[in-house]
A and B are shown apart, each in its own frame.
Chain A
């Protein structure tokens, strides 16, 4: 397999002979990813120009910088090896660079330049916003939603859309010669422990996933637009962040701005779909919808949402002093929003039922658990994924049984099929790393001045790409007030780590380090 890969990589190089001399998968992928981002900037610049026309220049020049940098990288390099470490480096560095460059429009436009905010803090806020966008997290440090123009706000929505299905997957879709290393690239970026090929060709698979994603986004946008209370702008804006389970909204009250039950129902359905494996959506579109029911992960996911939603509704109804209707609406919407790692809020004010910070401790605890678990493999959601939770539960039950019967052979089963031991072991390693990261993160963020509840929830939420946290950083509050600047940078880093599921971000230094070591 490895040999074939090497040969393929070489052939790919030969194919693109004449262009650029530097051979680096990382830089090449980065180049094309930046070019895509530039397209988004230009489109939103046009929108800005046609509407509020406040931040047009910022978006335009960011686009120019982004495109030139991306084009240069793309033109000057060619894909190199597809070894694991290079793949991790490619994906990890691409995301870091895209996040940094993606912060430019906010910096140029002075989005965070409210009274008394220094330039450094503006940059920090911009990077935080960009990281929160591309990683589909949805936390914000924006306090004044009236300041940025409609185009810039739409750019903010678009960052999440890019992040949802993944810019590297997009790169794989358009670069057929990445085929061989492509699956690794996709796996490194895609949420969940594995990604399966829908077609024999990886780039074809990537195309289909993006096509499904696009179709789904359009569908949500159209439905929202035709509903009363939302304009075309609102429809597109929320379509972008629903399909990507991101959770940004151009309004400070998030979905609470509409205060419309129909819109909330549409979004609930949209979020549940966004939290499902897109491979199932593709197959369903091909006329094979039975994949959903057969998938134990999907069943577990739906069961989890139903159970948690009913428990939460019950808890806040009994304790919260809200009527059943209010409790039902707030409970179901927020549980789905958090269970799919979207992070929309439907609170209409700090005192309303949708502000889950005010819920009873048990309901908040469930929210914390949801932040950890996340939705399905191969969806646009975050967290450790239902499948991993299921496998790890089976794994620990197996360990317990083994203690009773030391020589028992007990395979870990997911649904009806047995999971290979090395995959179980990788998942256990993933979970332990996740836990270690949470602990380290909490210690760091509290050391940088965060409160205990806020820090725990924010770190778990950032790693799980959730959005709002608990305590002072709840759905109606801003991270800008709850956390210090360095703490926000740490959170931004954790969002990227969470979005790429730990390994690429921790291992992206390996390839450059080895390259340096090899040279000396």
Chain B
């Protein structure tokens, strides 16, 4: 019947507007691939002085992804208002595109010939999870840096998704402060400006972190690699024993930058804008720091003979969901382990490169539970849950609770399936939670995140978990829900068939 309107005198209205509206998803994929291509090309050019065949593989992949990415970026334009479901699916496809591109590199460079290993390594990289199956001692410098770069990209992806893409689509995400104040005071007055500022802070932090490592004697290669994976809360290391054999100075640098990497970019922006008061008054930041302090004290009490530095390092690594280790924390006392598990599940602040439930959400959830307690006491009482002097409306709270319950449900499902493939109880629970938080190591994988302990099936199971950890749990849950819906759809189809028969 569309043709009908063509007949009429006025012509079809709105034709002009239509041609410019392209899918958000394709654009995000293009952007992600463009970023990937730049980083890979840089590594490739650098690699020409190191290992030529690897460099060529990198450059080849960079050329292909670049062609796709930049063409897409030129041709496509975002639509005015994207349905939130499409934002999420767009982010998910962009992430998957990155993983596929990364897998190609691992296979082309011959680092591994196993498809599943390459896939796992790539997914762990782009989700900033510190789990690996490969032997890092066999890597060339180029590949060390490229592998760390995947985490760096993954970290940037996480922040940009949290600050730019998702809040625009979903009104009132808890961990994103409302935009108020002067234009300069806001991190992202427009998406373009926000993206630029975030990338500036992110790159700046990386540089400073790298210099810090270099100054404390970590060596050029390791400094670069660790700077890339610290600021992104990734946790890949160029050393088989992570930072255990590094000097105390480097460990301290790592601790400080892990803590910073777990902070909200809004908080960092305020700090840079010299709004110290606002920075310090952020309730989420305070809670984040209190968690750090309390958990560290907990470890000091709970583990015999641990040094303050090591305890703080372990907690910082957990709370920022990085996954570095300086000692074998898997042999800590059960009390210390349970504290670490709670900390990993909580994760970093919202709008940071880290993962997890996020401090702000946990806070809101505790407030919510508290409100329900009060309501029991005084059924007519009106209690409002606040977040930074802003009341969270009921609808948002409801979304928040539903979402978090789903988060736990997903962790439970993941743990169950890991147990099915034979992982022991604690490791299964821990890995499921840890991967959803994009941290990585669990007791069963050893302190340095050796994923071979999980078995090939277990690792494949974790890849969707990594997607959930990085892009939000939505895409995965949507997939689950649609599986549940297939029954409905099947019955519908049968009904339709019966109808058409008649």
Contacts and interface: CB of A to CB of B under 8 A. Distances in A.
Are any A and B Cβ atoms less than 8 Å apart in their complex? yes
Contact of B338 (A406, A435, A442): A442
Given A429-B373, A506-B373, A400 B334 contact: no
A369 B412 contact: yes
B85 A405 contact: yes
Nearest to B407: A396
A364 B366 contact: no
B337 A446 contact: yes
A442 B425 CA distance: 15
Contacts of A395: 398, 401-402, 405
Interface in B415-444: 415-416, 419-420, 422-426, 428-429
A430 B416 CA distance: 24
Given A393-B409, A432-B404, A507-B376, 7 more contacts: A361-B428, A400-B403, A405-B83, A425-B398, A429-B369, A432-B366, A452-B334
A511 to B, nearest CB: 9
A360 interface: yes
A430 B84 CA distance: 29
B170 interface: yes
Nearest to A448: B335
Nearest to A451: B334
Among A366, A404, A426, A433, max chain B CB count under 10 A is at: A404
Can you list the 8 inter-chain pairs with the closest CB atoms, starting with the nearest? A429-B372, A399-B402, A404-B85, A396-B406, A361-B419, A446-B334, A446-B335, A447-B335
Interface in B422-477: 422-426, 428-429, 474, 477
A325 B70 CA distance: 64
5 contacts: A368-B425, A403-B88, A404-B84, A405-B83, A443-B298
Given A404-B478, A429-B371, A433-B373, A399 B419 contact: no
Contacts of A503: 373, 376
Among A402, A403, A426, A452, max chain B CB count under 10 A is at: A403
A397 interface: yes
Contacts of A374: none
Given A452-B334, A503-B373, A428 B378 contact: no
B338 A365 contact: no
Nearest to A502: B373
Contacts of A455: 334, 338
Contact of B369 (A361, A436, A453, A470): A436
B368 interface: yes
A84 B338 CA distance: 35
A510 interface: yes
A426 B171 CA distance: 24
Contacts of A366: 416
Contact of A432 (B83, B401, B423): B401
Contacts of B481: 397, 400-401
Nearest to A504: B376
A368 B408 CA distance: 14
A424 B398 contact: yes
Contacts of A362: 416, 419-420
A207 to B, nearest CB: 27
A269 interface: no
A398 interface: yes
B371 A399 contact: no
A364 B425 contact: yes
B333 A404 contact: no
A403 B85 contact: yes
Dominant SS among interface residues on chain A: helix
A510 B395 CA distance: 29
A54 interface: no
B287 interface: no
A275 B391 CA distance: 41
A392 B408 CA distance: 11
A503 B399 CA distance: 23
A446 B338 CA distance: 7
A429 B368 contact: yes
Contacts of B305: none
Contacts of B365: 432
Interface string B153-190: 00000000000000000110000000000000000000
Contact of A400 (B171, B408, B426, B477): B477
A403 B170 contact: yes
B457 to A, nearest CB: 12
A465 to B, nearest CB: 20
B492 interface: no
A393 B404 CA distance: 11
Contacts of A360: 419, 422
A399 B406 contact: yes
B375 interface: yes
B371 A452 contact: no
B478 A450 contact: no
A405 B481 CA distance: 15
A257 interface: no
Interface string A383-415: 000000000110111111111111000000000
Contacts of B428: 361, 365
Interface string B345-379: 00000000000000000000110110111011111
Interface string A482-520: 000000000000000000000100110010000000000
A361 B406 contact: no
B339 interface: yes
A84 B379 contact: yes
A431 interface: yes
B409 A396 contact: yes
Contact of B415 (A365, A404, A470): A365
Contacts of B84: 403-406
A406 B170 contact: yes
Contacts of B402: 395-400, 402, 428
Contacts of B408: 435
A440 to B, nearest CB: 9
Contacts of A128: none
Among B83, B372, B403, B481, max chain A CB count under 10 A is at: B372
Contact of B425 (A396, A430, A453): A453
Interface string A77-92: 0000000110010000
Contacts of A392: 405
A402 B402 CA distance: 10
Interface string B259-284: 00000000000000000000000000
B302 interface: yes
B342 interface: yes
B342 A432 contact: no
Interface in B2-35: none
A393 B402 CA distance: 8
A439 interface: yes
Nearest to A470: B425
Contacts of A425: 372, 394, 397-398, 401
A450 to B, nearest CB: 6
Contact of A452 (B337, B366, B397): B337
Interface string B293-305: 0000010001000
A84 B381 CA distance: 12
Contacts of B401: 395, 399, 425, 428-429, 432
Contacts of A451: 334
A452 B426 contact: yes
Given A362-B419, A436-B366, A88 B424 contact: no
Contacts of A446: 333-335, 337-338
A393 B408 CA distance: 11
Contacts of B338: 442-443, 446, 452, 455
B434 to A, nearest CB: 14
Contact of A396 (B371, B375, B405): B405
A72 B133 CA distance: 71
Nearest to B339: A443
B65 to A, nearest CB: 29
B177 to A, nearest CB: 20
Contacts of A443: 298, 335, 338-339, 342
